[in-house]
Amino acid sequence: MARGISLNRRTFLISTSGAAAGVAATGLAGTGAHAQDGALPEYAAWKDPDALIVHTDRTLETRREAIGAPPITPARELFVRNNLPTPPLSATDDPDVWEIAFEGVASPATMTLGELKRYGVTSTPAVLQCSGNGRAFFDHEASGTQWSVGAAGNVVWTGVPLARVVEAMGGAAAEARFLTGTGGEDLPPGIDPLTILVERSVPIEALDDALLAYEMNGEPLPIAHGGPVRLVVPGYFGVNNVKYVRRIALTPAESEAKIQRTSYRIRPVGVEGDPSQPSMWTMTVKSWITAPLHEPSSGAVVIQGVAMGGASALSSVEVSTDGGETWQAAELTGPDMGRFAWRPFALVTTLEPGRYTVASRATNADGDEQPRDFDPNERGYGHNGWDAHAVELTVS
Amino acid sequence: MARGISLNRRTFLISTSGAAAGVAATGLAGTGAHAQDGALPEYAAWKDPDALIVHTDRTLETRREAIGAPPITPARELFVRNNLPTPPLSATDDPDVWEIAFEGVASPATMTLGELKRYGVTSTPAVLQCSGNGRAFFDHEASGTQWSVGAAGNVVWTGVPLARVVEAMGGAAAEARFLTGTGGEDLPPGIDPLTILVERSVPIEALDDALLAYEMNGEPLPIAHGGPVRLVVPGYFGVNNVKYVRRIALTPAESEAKIQRTSYRIRPVGVEGDPSQPSMWTMTVKSWITAPLHEPSSGAVVIQGVAMGGASALSSVEVSTDGGETWQAAELTGPDMGRFAWRPFALVTTLEPGRYTVASRATNADGDEQPRDFDPNERGYGHNGWDAHAVELTVS
């Protein structure tokens, strides 16, 4: 994603989409047409190359035109954002032997996934979204991957309800205030581990909904998405869903790892990260248009997108075709799969030839409405402003 | 599946599962270990060979041990049952040019899928189940594929709401009583078309929920499952969900095709099919155990399965470990995705070493409870008796 485009960034994004659509129309997709984006890395070689923008070998974004309006995002199309190289691919050969250490409970223990499965099972549809999804829409040059809308997906996690494990171990230690998960990546020698360790803490209340997930969309969780087992904290930004989780601790304080202490903190542009600033924990209400993205012909047009409530359930979505001057209620076209899931929406409308600015605006059960704008922050986190997420559409 | 096993059919089935599990444990799965079942046919070569029993090149069953307890069945694991060879694989190259003729409406028309998409979009999670699922559990030798539990799956269909198309064409003709769909297979010459044509009629009320589906689980519908576009009638047995649909007609009478007139009729053993007999239309309440299927060790055991309400929503599931002497309420472990979807369930219990007969029994919102037994019928359709679906378990 090019940098430094501010005023016309929205239009620029659509031009990119149009080019990709053109490639598909000529039948060249899948034959290296996206080679300028780089090839899929080995651990994600099973994914759909036409659905993904390869920013780097650790950051793969779902193309806006590939998102469509699915109740569930296919694994082959789901984004990837890794902080470190993955463990060896062989780590998922026998998921049941993977060990997790539990601390900060009355009776600490280390258990294999096979043993943990005896505590029960639950399945939770939930949005997985990178903290930086929408970074490309900020006008300042926030460093990091320039995600537009595709660092998000809606998947069904299946795993062990973490609260039951904690209960079986005698419950949380009295002083516990946070649920802290530690990733199982191999750390390179010679570097202070705290500077690179993937260890995140969330408020202990998140334990109620947390899973030790070993399946996604009904299939074993691949390394690319944190298999053999991932800490899933529904409603929380992606970084809190610790991959290849090796340790779960109920702690009195947040982790001292950099990724928790100073990274993933919302602060004004130019300010250093600091533990007093808000951490990227619960997600917010958000929606975006996924179709059409290139010139539809005039007449009936089905405007589609996806919408999520964030920390509370989605309640409604409106669509505007005039850049937010007027709004119409959209229809939620997919099932209600619970408060952590997104829902596809659609508005069937009639458009004459011309140019339109198509925007969507979601509201959640708490009454939070997607704002028009979103204040810049140093690292470009959490953008949910509807204006920047709008698309320019030419109807022929 | 061997025939003529009656008294010990249930035990026999479990032995088969055990053998398959043994193969997996030795790492031989996927290297031809299932070759005795035949290879996947070309149109389904993308499926998971380890998850499927290849009965014939037109009948692929999901193994009971592969079902697991997913809210959504992955496409790679979903069963296939085709009545005729598929259209050429190229039929899905450009789904939007596929044409469907509409008859029995005020203004009959033929439209491409691309044109039809302008009427709107909807996504419906629904169980897809073959009429003969459970045929292997009948004691008489019902002819046809000996499906046990794996001719069923729960998927999310996305498509055009058919009722909107009919409305746009001026509504149903006054005399219309049935929704009739015709498949787009090429019929071999020299045979009376009515004897092989895939054309099914359902009561016109089914129109309210019907879709012209072009996606399954968020991906384009493959030929193996009826792509480029399939008539999906949620709540109705698989045969009514006409693949590669070429014609939709709202008709005063049921189709004269054999598949409607005399096939897929419930009648006593030895009796010929006849239009006066009940057709395989709406599904019934049903559940089955999916795990564990081979020797768990004693202590906490998580018994899992899937359950569906049939024509009305699932309400509850009970599990028995003593062959139906006593029952305990199971927990529904996945999201409620609407009345047409199945839900995974689980019971966490403690089992001492010994032998157990593990059964599940579902109840739907209409108060219909899965029966213990199910009367035999000539073609072995619709078995939902809980006793035959039970599994024998040895706890070590």
Q: What are A233-285's pLDDT values in tens digits?
A: 999 999 999 999 999 999 999 999 999 999 999 999 999 999 999 999 999 99
Domains and CATH numbers, chain A: 9-68 (no CATH), 89-261 (3.90.420.10), 286-395 (2.60.40.650)
A211 vs B12, residue with greater confidence: A211
pLDDT tens, residue by residue, B198-223: 999 999 999 999 999 999 999 999 99
Cα B290–B291–B293 angle (5° rounding)?
100
Q: What is the Cα–Cα distance from A260 to A270, expressed in whole angstroms?
A: 19
pLDDT band at A118 (very low <50, low <70, confident <90, very high): very high
Q: Is B158 on the interface with A (CB under 8 A)?
A: yes
- Cβ separation B70–A123 shorter than 8 A: yes
- Cβ separation A335–B123 shorter than 8 A: yes
Closest partner residue to A118 (CB to CB) among B74, B299, B337 is B299
pLDDT band at B30 (very low <50, low <70, confident <90, very high): very low
Q: Across residues A79-86, what is the average pLDDT?
A: 95
Q: Is A334 on the interface with B (CB under 8 A)?
A: yes
The pTM score is: 0.91
Instruction: Look up tokens 């001492």; give the residue.
Output: B352
The predicted structure's pLDDT at residue A3:
26
The predicted structure's pLDDT at residue B311:
81
Tokens of B273: 């099919």
pLDDT tens, residue by residue, A163-188: 999 999 999 999 999 999 999 999 98
Question: Model ipTM?
Answer: 0.90
Checking if the pLDDT of B164 tops 70, the result is yes
pLDDT band at B1 (very low <50, low <70, confident <90, very high): very low
Q: Is B364 on the interface with A (CB under 8 A)?
A: no
Q: Across residues B51-78, what is the average pLDDT?
A: 96
User: Which chain A residues have a beta carbon less than 8 Å from that of B74?
Assistant: 217-219
Q: Is B121 on the interface with A (CB under 8 A)?
A: yes
- How many other CB atoms sit within 10 Å of the CB of residue B322? 11
- Cβ separation B338–A334 shorter than 8 A: no
pLDDT band at B392 (very low <50, low <70, confident <90, very high): very high
Closest partner residue to B218 (CB to CB) among A72, A119, A335 is A72
Query: Which of helix, strand or coil describes residue B309?
Result: coil
Single-letter amino acid code for the residue at A169: M
Q: Which of B155, B217, B342, B345 is the best residue to mutate to test the A interface, defined by the most A CB atoms within 10 Å of its own CB?
A: B217
